Amino acid sequence: MNMEEYAKGNQLFRNYFKKNEESLLNLVESGQSPKALFIGCSDSRVIPDLMVQSNPGDLFVVRNVGNFVPPFEPDSDFHSTASAIEYAVSVLKVAEIIICGHTHCGACEHLFEEIEDTPDLIHTKKWLELGESAKKSAILSLGANAQKEDLLRLTEKLSVIKQIENILTYPKVKERFEADDLHIHGWCYDVETGNIDYYNAETYEFEPLKSLVSRKEKA
């Protein structure tokens, strides 16, 4: 895709903008008030707004390699993901946090491969340490000789749970969560089907997100 194609794409978006100008300009005048913080993977196949058909202004999105959440570290270093979490929770006061993993995740796959110590990937190698505990738990559960695809699928889901644990190390997140003022959700998106499973903390299982729609309709 070259720059001319991007320009054509922007023109199509401008047509959309004109048709929805009132609501989009209202977001400018009134400011954003997103419903949820969405923490997803930078993978180009993961498209948050399309996946849930949300509107502009609905999601405050932060994406990184592996949809990882680094534990809270109160130091003077640069913390991109942490900054987004703090801003969403303390300033925008979102009511929901969604941590969304996905199948065929390159970050999880590389946990099972040796990354060379080169300047080209120095930050990536360090970042992937955030997924190590999920990898170890998957191996412990299935065994080191399990099928690679089974290990990867389980690692992807266990990593989501680990990131939920990590985000609860943020003081304001924990405070609002314990006050039932903030809800945290773990999702896993299937890039082959478009389906999303959510982590049910009561059953300790990932269940189809669509089942929540069915339950609400039955109620």
pLDDT the model gives residue 217: 56
Please write the tens of the pLDDT for every residue from 55-71.
999 999 999 999 999 99
Q: Check pLDDT > 90 for residue 213.
A: no
Where residue 93 falls among pLDDT bands split at 50, 70, 90? very high
Rounded distance, CA 186 to CA 166, Å? Answer: 12
pLDDT the model gives residue 214: 65
Which are the contacts of 192, defined by CB distance < 8 A and separation ≥ 6?
103, 104
| Residue range 17-42: mean pLDDT, rounded | 97
Q: Are strands 205-208 and 196-200 parallel, antiparallel or unpaired?
A: antiparallel
pLDDT the model gives residue 33: 96
Please write the tens of the pLDDT for every residue from 138-160.
999 999 999 999 999 999 999 99
CATH number of 20-218: 3.40.1050.10
Please write the tens of the pLDDT for every residue from 173-212.
999 999 999 999 999 999 999 999 999 999 999 999 999 9
Q: Where are the domains of the chain?
A: 20-218
